[in-house]
Amino acid sequence: MRLRKMLPRKVRKVLKDIEVSGDKESLPQHPGPHYRKVLRALFETGRYDTYLEIGTSTGGTLVQATGRVIAIDPAFGMKRNVMPGKSVLHAFQTTSDAFFETEDPIALMKGSTMDLAFLDGMHLFEFLLRDFINTEKVCAPGSLILMHDCLPLNRLMAQRQMSGGEPRVDRYYGWWTGDVWKILPILAEHRPDLKVACLDAPPTGLVAISGLDPTSTVLQERYEEIVARYTDEALDTPGVAQLHARFRARPAGEALADLGHPIGAC
């Protein structure tokens, strides 16, 4: 505050305008451990031998994984050695849709289903929905699927456009979750059989899903209907708060234990 008083009046006014127009709409950051720490804690349990990751980028999550791994990204940008702890790494530089069209993950894993999957590819809900449909098919009922970015902290980061949408002046300027938050109401409505938990992992939450049914065709059959219903839906400011109230984020350890996937401290 003292520093602000040292700024010229004009600059102070601009900062105030920014706060009024954007920052007050933002929710505070999630209080729990960072999502990559949660992922590391899962691997540290030693329960997960096969892992599928959609969206790898520079390898910040891939590096946490141990055992046998499949990674998919149309534009890998790995900046480090991601091999420690891994016996096998299949890296597919393509989209997740193209991967599932041409590859058989269970065959790649010599007949094993995926123990753990992390879905962090294209941040549009119809892409995440397809990624979930395709991933569930190659999991076992007791596997765990994690999804990133489904609990945005304001409406601006949840626009469908990564850039070129509504101009931004919020404190999370540059963050983009897209509209993958829609997967939460979609699963609640169409797949009430799943066990879904929201974790308070910064920056924008983790969704953990267990109780999977690899034989389910419900989402596939209703795909067009779901996409038509949700594409134009947008979050306004009360909408963000309502989303968080309906899908309350919980401490990761507690929520994962309830899903049958306990972790140690992280």
Ligand X SMILES: C[S@@+](CC[C@H](N)C(=O)[O-])C[C@H]1O[C@@H](n2cnc3c(N)ncnc32)[C@H](O)[C@@H]1O
Minimum CB distance to ligand X, residue 81 (Å): 15
At its nearest, how many Å lie between ligand X and the CB of residue 161? 15
- Cβ-based burial of 193 (10 A; exposed 0-12, middle 13-18, buried ≥19): exposed
Which residues, including other chains, have CB under 8 Å from residue 55's CB and lie 6 or more apart? 72, 73, 96, 118, 119, 120, 121, 122, 148
Q: Find the binding residues for ligand X in span 182-241 (CB under 6 A).
A: none
Of 4-12, 73-81, 133-141, 153-161, the window that binds ligand X (rule: CB under 6 A) is 73-81
Closest to ligand X by CB, 102 vs 215, is: 102
- Binds ligand X (CB under 6 A): choice among 42, 70, 71, 122: 122
Q: What angle do CA 205, 184, 28 make, to 5 degrees?
A: 35
- Residue 242 Cβ vs ligand X, minimum distance, rounded to whole Å: 25
What H or E segment, with its residue span, contains residue 86? strand 86-92
CA distances from 95 to 44, 122, 234 (A): 29, 9, 26
Segment interacting with ligand X, rule: CB under 6 A, options 52-60, 182-190, 202-210, 255-263: 52-60
Alpha-helical regions (H) of the chain:
2-5, 9-21, 35-44, 96-102, 105-108, 125-137, 183-190, 218-221, 223-230, 237-246, 252-258
Q: What is the smallest separation between the CB atom of 187 and ligand X, expressed in angstroms?
A: 20
Which of 100, 127, 181, 247 binds ligand X (CB under 6 A)? It is 127
Would you call 158 exposed, middle or buried from its count of C-beta atoms within 10 A (0-12, 13-18, 19+)?
A: buried
Among 3, 6, 75, 228, binds ligand X (CB under 6 A): 75
Options 32, 67, 105, 121; binder of ligand X; rule CB under 6 A: 121
Binding ligand X by CB under 6 A: which of 38, 42, 72, 252? 72
> Total number of residues binding ligand X (CB under 6 A)?
16
Nearest residue to 117 via CA among 56, 193, 189, 188: 56
C-beta of 141: minimal distance to ligand X in Å?
25
- Asked if 179 touches ligand X (CB under 6 A), the answer is no
Question: Which tokens go with 189?
Answer: 């409505």
**Is residue 135 involved in binding ligand X (CB under 6 A)?**
no
Tokens of 33: 């451990």
User: Could you give the CA distance from residue 212 to residue 221 in angstroms, rounded to a whole number?
Assistant: 17
Q: Which of 26, 96, 143, 204 binds ligand X (CB under 6 A)?
A: 96
Rule CB under 6 A: choose which of 74, 142, 211, 239 binds ligand X: 74
Helix (H) or strand (E) segment spanning residue 208? strand 206-210
**Which one of 66-74, 138-146, 157-165, 177-185 is the stretch in contact with ligand X (CB under 6 A)?**
66-74
Site of interaction with ligand X (CB under 6 A): 54-57, 60-61, 72-75, 95-96, 120-122, 127
